[in-house]
């Protein structure tokens, strides 16, 4: 079975390595195997599922209001007061959808840097020695091998190579940059994160 890592910059898997897998709880799922310890992510439509009852309720309320005003013949009130209630329901739906999207985006960016580096990493400015294309492209973003040199708190100089998939809009800035901010672990200075590129 071929495994495609959607976030290779995290280096979660190594070629030729062994993975603990188990049968998926849903036999209709493809592939029928899941990685041990993995959490399933809901599909895109599942994020909109909580909004469905609210939308249906708003449309039903508007329809009942329309029927009431049609029976009474008070069209001017319907397009005044009733339309405002329908507009409010639509505004609430849009607000909830935007807030869900923003929360999901912020959570994704917060999880891009591992927790131990996010909380225990020491920030430092690294000198960019070279930026080379590796020849790999992920989602139209070329993978760039960055050779970086930085001095830790103890005064020791470290040289590390970090491969990152960089969006085309950021690519020119990264290739011409002289310095980049990074986080490193004092216990393992070669373990770094580049929060500005994640």
Which range is least confidently modeled, 26-30, 34-38, 84-88? 26-30
Q: In this predicted model, what pLDDT tens digit does every residue of 100-144 receive, in sequence order? A: 888 887 777 666 667 777 777 888 999 989 888 888 888 788 888
Computed over every residue of the chain, the mean pLDDT equals: 76
Give the strand pairing for 192-193 and 179-184: antiparallel
Whether cis (ω within 30° of 0) applies to the bond prior to 22 is no
pTM > 0.85: yes or no:
no
For residue 79, is pLDDT > 70?
no
Say how far apart CA 195 and CA 182 lie, in whole Å: 7
Strand-pair category, 157-165 with 141-151: antiparallel
Three-state DSSP state, 133 = strand
Measured in degrees and rounded to the nearest 5, phi and psi for residue 20 equal: -85, 120
């Amino acid at each position: 079975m071929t495994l495609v890592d959607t976030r290779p910059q995290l280096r979660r898997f190594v070629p030729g390595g062994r993975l603990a897998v188990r049968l998926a709880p849903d036999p209709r799922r493809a592939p029928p195997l899941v990685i041990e310890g993995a959490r399933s992510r809901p599909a895109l439509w599942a994020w909109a599922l909580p909004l469905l009852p609210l939308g249906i309720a708003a449309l039903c309320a508007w329809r009942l209001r329309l029927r009431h005003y049609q029976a009474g013949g008070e069209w001017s009130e319907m397009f005044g007061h009733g339309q405002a209630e329908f507009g409010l329901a639509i505004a609430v739906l849009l607000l909830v959808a935007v807030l869900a999207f923003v929360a999901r985006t912020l959570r994704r960016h917060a999880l891009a840097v591992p927790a131990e580096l996010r909380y225990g990493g020491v920030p430092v400015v690294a000198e960019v020695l070279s930026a080379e294309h590796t020849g790999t492209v992920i989602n139209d973003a070329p993978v760039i091998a960055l050779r970086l040199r930085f001095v830790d708190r103890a005064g020791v100089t470290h040289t590390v190579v970090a491969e990152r998939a960089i969006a085309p809009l950021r690519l020119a800035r990264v290739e011409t940059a002289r310095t980049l901010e990074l986080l490193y672990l004092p216990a393992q200075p070669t373990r770094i994160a580049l929060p500005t590129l994640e």
